[in-house]
Structure 1
Amino acid sequence: MPEFRPIYKSHAIEKCAATVAFGDQLPKKVFGQLLESATPLLTANGLVQGQQPSGFQFDVATGKVSPIDGHGPTQFSSENNVVQLHVLPDAIVWGTKQYLRWKNFRQDFQKSTEPLLSEFDKATNVSSIKLEYWDRFFWQGNWDDLDIKKLLKSDSELSIKAAGQFSREWHNHVGWFETKNFGRRLINVNIDLISINSPTATDQPSVGIYTMVHDQTRTDAERDELNTLSLIKRFDQIHDEMKHLLSQVLTPSASEMINLNSGE
């Protein structure tokens, strides 16, 4: 009988991204100095600075349009473009399309962003952090014999609502806020059943699962509270939360297939 299989042998993660946003933007001169000092280290870690995006800024008060000169959002990436680091005046985004395990992602994130984060820390507080996962599974049969209940729990409020209404492609979106002592947490669980042309099959049913946890602050007091715990420990907590979220969506056999409860 056909079954679902993850995109990779040991896990289903297509990509993963961690975002750290700050309460204030760095001044242009300070941000330029940060990029200049960090570039040699990032290059040593195998990341190459990409071409800065060109653009314009609009002054609402005067109506003046002027080009953005230098020191805007800057991207660094590995030569194969699998790993990307986006550095903005008020945020850092680290992402990879070659995920192994959380400990590897965590180590690479720390190694490349620590010098950047320490410079931001001198001028402003972290205001929000976000972790995102994109998981993908492929059905080994066709649309006629597709059995979504082999992947998604039939009694889960997060996953199966759209499955009973549509025989082919569908999208299911669930999101909510939770009150925290540092402000609020936004949680999203989005599921898409789509058709994909892969190297081995045409019109192959595939399920993509997007999970996101975003811890947000709105006041200085909430930012102080968010920063009482180290950034990496916050991400560790969010990672555990996201594993729990995915376990509420997947069947026990699917969770076992990707070693979801392995403790990594």
Structure 2
Amino acid sequence: MDWEPAHADHSIDSVNILFTFAEPIDGDSFDDLIIPLRRAANAHRFTNRVEGQETAADIPLVPQPGQPVMINIGNVPMTRRVAFQRLADGVVASECSIGVSSFTMWTLRYRRWANFYAELEDLCRAIDGVWPLSQSVKSIRLQYIDRFVSIPGGASHFEVLAEHNPNFLVVPQRDPMAAFHVHNGWFDYDSSPGNRILTNVNIDAGDVRPPQFAGGCRNINFLTLMQFESLSSTLPDPLAQADILHQRLKHLFRQLISSEAAARVGLPE
């Protein structure tokens, strides 16, 4: 095989998880939870604190028939967002952040799901001690970006793509060296009654045949995303739901790649 995963023991460039709340955190609770969250974040080396603002989830608009919608930026309501960052080699490698409407955590230095989950669990429990995050999450979104790199001069992307192309993707079948992009997304209302499941798949492959790229390596990138959303209330046990999302995305990724590529990243048949 003329491709290798982007990293020594896996292909994951980044992972990002987002919890969106059913109702915004009240101001007093938000102030109170920052201290325990900071302690939990610091314990995992998220030591660089950044204060910011974001627009409120709902911007009131009163459209008039036949008239353009005008937004006065000065009147857009803003809310706090506090981030804790982990630096590596002088750049932000990981971050967790809390706003009144959501909590998110991401990393560019992924090791294993067990490590990522342990950090996520500690941070969520710190919030839960002040404000009931575990009872307040309306949707959870998990996203992975995986990457494989070819030998210099490029290689056939069919070495990486699954031998039997999943029926939800359309991939060029002729030129094994041509650049391409495919994207598909769908909602599922049946697998979990009362909830909606969103799935997104993006695949990008580069082209190194133009003279300016001669001798370069091709990259093939896989973005896989899944979201659980309650249609009526909140999701039970958000941490357990996050683990289910991880397992489903792992299975989805295995459907996208060849047996040889899967062996390189330790995914079972």
Q: Would you call these one fold, judging by a TM-score over 0.5?
A: yes
In structure 2, distance between residues paired with 1:209 and 1:164: 18
Q: Is the aligned partner of 1:111 residue 2:126?
A: no
Structure 2 counterpart of 1:206, one-letter code: N
Q: Is the aligned partner of 1:46 residue 2:57?
A: no
Whether the aligned pair in 1 keeps the contact of 2:36 and 2:126 (CA below 8 Å) is no
Whether the aligned pair in 1 keeps the contact of 2:40 and 2:122 (CA below 8 Å) is no
1:170 to 154, 161, 180: 180
Matches of residues 1-150 of structure 1 in structure 2 within 5 Å? Answer: 3-53=2-52, 60=61, 65=74, 72-80=80-88, 81-121=92-132, 125-143=136-154, 146-150=155-159
Deviations 1:14-46 (CA, angstroms, capped at 9, x unpaired): 111121111011123321222244323322432
Deviations 1:201-255 (CA, angstroms, capped at 9, x unpaired): 96321001011110012212xx2xx31xx22221222111111101111111111
Q: Is the aligned partner of 1:254 residue 2:261?
A: yes
My pick for the range that moved more, 150-159 or 243-252, is 150-159
Deviations 1:77-124 (CA, angstroms, capped at 9, x unpaired): 113221210211111111111111111111121122321144341796
Whether the aligned pair in 2 keeps the contact of 1:74 and 1:86 (CA below 8 Å) is yes
The 3 A distance-change label for structure 1 pair 157 and 202 is: same
In structure 2, distance between residues paired with 1:122 and 1:251: 39
Equivalent residue of 1:255, what SS?
helix
Q: Is the aligned partner of 1:190 residue 2:202?
A: yes
Equivalent residue of 2:206, what SS?
strand
Structure 2 counterpart of 1:194, one-letter code: G
Extract unaligned runs of 5+ from structure 1.
Answer: none
My pick for the range that moved more, 31-40 or 6-15, is 31-40
Equivalent residue of 1:53, what SS?
strand
In structure 2, distance between residues paired with 1:159 and 1:237: 21
In structure 2, distance between residues paired with 1:65 and 1:59: 13
Whether the aligned pair in 2 keeps the contact of 1:152 and 1:160 (CA below 8 Å) is no
The 3 A distance-change label for structure 1 pair 41 and 104 is: closer
Whether the aligned pair in 2 keeps the contact of 1:178 and 1:185 (CA below 8 Å) is yes
How far the C-alpha of 1:181 sits from its partner, in A, is 2.0
Structure 1 outlier segments of 4+, above 6 Å: 55-59
Structure 2 counterpart of 1:13, one-letter code: I
The 3 A distance-change label for structure 1 pair 213 and 177 is: same
The normalised TM-score by structure 2 is: 0.80
Identity %: 19
Q: Is the aligned partner of 1:217 residue 2:230?
A: yes
User: RMSD across aligned C-alpha pairs, in angstroms?
Assistant: 2.9
Structure 1 counterpart of 2:249, one-letter code: M
In structure 2, distance between residues paired with 1:91 and 1:98: 23
In structure 1, distance between residues paired with 2:102 and 2:135: 11
Whether the aligned pair in 2 keeps the contact of 1:3 and 1:141 (CA below 8 Å) is no
Whether the aligned pair in 2 keeps the contact of 1:169 and 1:194 (CA below 8 Å) is yes
Equivalent residue of 2:240, what SS?
helix
In structure 2, distance between residues paired with 1:129 and 1:91: 10
Extract unaligned runs of 5+ from structure 2.
Answer: 63-70, 209-213
In structure 2, distance between residues paired with 1:244 and 1:149: 19
The normalised TM-score by structure 1 is: 0.82
My pick for the range that moved more, 10-19 or 152-161, is 152-161
Whether the aligned pair in 1 keeps the contact of 2:169 and 2:184 (CA below 8 Å) is no
Equivalent residue of 1:130, what SS?
strand
